[in-house]
Structures are given as C-alpha cells and as structure tokens.
Amino acid sequence: MSDFNGYVQTDGYAGYNFLDRTRHLRCLAHVRQYFVDSLKNSSYKASKSFRGEIVKAIDEVFELERKLSVKFNDDERLNYRRRKLLPVVKQVFPKISSVTASAKSALGRAKNYALGQEKHILNIFEKGYFELSNNSAERAVVGIQGQT
C-alpha cells in the first residue's frame, strides 16, 4: 500500500502519513467537531463566541455545498466550489490562527487540529468529485465492521 500514488481522504490520524506519495484530503466535518466539542455545553447556534463563529462559518460551507445541483458535472462542481465555498474556507483558517489559547485547552486542541489540517482541506478544491467530509466513508466502514 505504501506505493499507492493518488488521493486519500481521512481524518487527521497520523497513522495514515505512511502514504507518502499520496495527496491527502482531510475532513472539514472533523475540524468542525473539534470546535463544537470546545464549546462544552453551550449551543454553537446561540454562541457569539469565537468558537461559535468558526462552527457557523463551517456550517455555511456545508450549506453552500448542499445547494450544488445534482446536474453539475465535476468541472461545474469544482468551479462552483472555488467561487462560493473556497473563499469562506480561506477566511476561516486565518481566524483560527489568530486566536490565543493554551495548547492543552479544548480551544487550543481545536485550533492546533484545524491548522494541522488546513493544507489537506484545501486539497479538496483540486477536483470536483472530492468530498468536504469523509463521514460517509467512516459510516460505511463502521457498517462493514458491524457485519463481521
């Protein structure tokens, strides 16, 4: 498997890094979840905090993605994403970078995780058929594991 040359989408687990000739894609939903978790018991929808704003911005990206026409081919999807989604994504990471937080705090862990995934998240905008999230693949793996 280490000779695989292509794209692979995973969460940020470092165990996948052995695929060194591979273009890694990461999962925007995992980045979002770190910020949701950092809110503790607060509702991000009601939150005016930095954390809540990051979650809302990522939600905006997913909402724009839902507006994609199923009739779009890969080139049209890529063009739409680059025009509508990419500017929002590119605004999120500088905001995340600007916050000061202890690396051991929930916000610090969310910040460090997100910034570690940034370049791999941006790789999603290289092809129209890539997904913003690997959640469907993870659900499929869990389903397969449950059948054995």
Show the 3-state SS of 99-131.
CCCCCCCHHHHHHHHHHHHHHHHHHHHHCCCCC
CA distance 76 to 84: 12
Of 95, 96, 94, nearest to 110 by C-alpha is: 96
Are 51 and 35 a contacting pair, CB within 8 Å?
A: yes
Residue in the block written with tokens 């600007």:
98
What is the distance between the alpha carbons of residues 2 and 67, in angstroms, rounded to a whole number? Answer: 37
Looking at residue 19, its pLDDT comes to: 63
Q: Would you place residue 2 in the very low, low, confident or very high pLDDT band (cuts 50, 70, 90)? A: low
Question: 24 by DSSP, 3-state: which?
Answer: strand
Strand partners, 9: 25
- At 26-68, the pLDDT tens digits run 899 999 999 998 887 665 555 568 888 999 999 999 999 998 8
pLDDT: which is higher, 6 or 86: 86
Gap between the Cα atoms of 126 and 140, Å rounded: 24
The pTM for the full model equals 0.81
**Spatial distance between the Cα atoms of 114 and 84, rounded to a whole number of angstroms:** 21
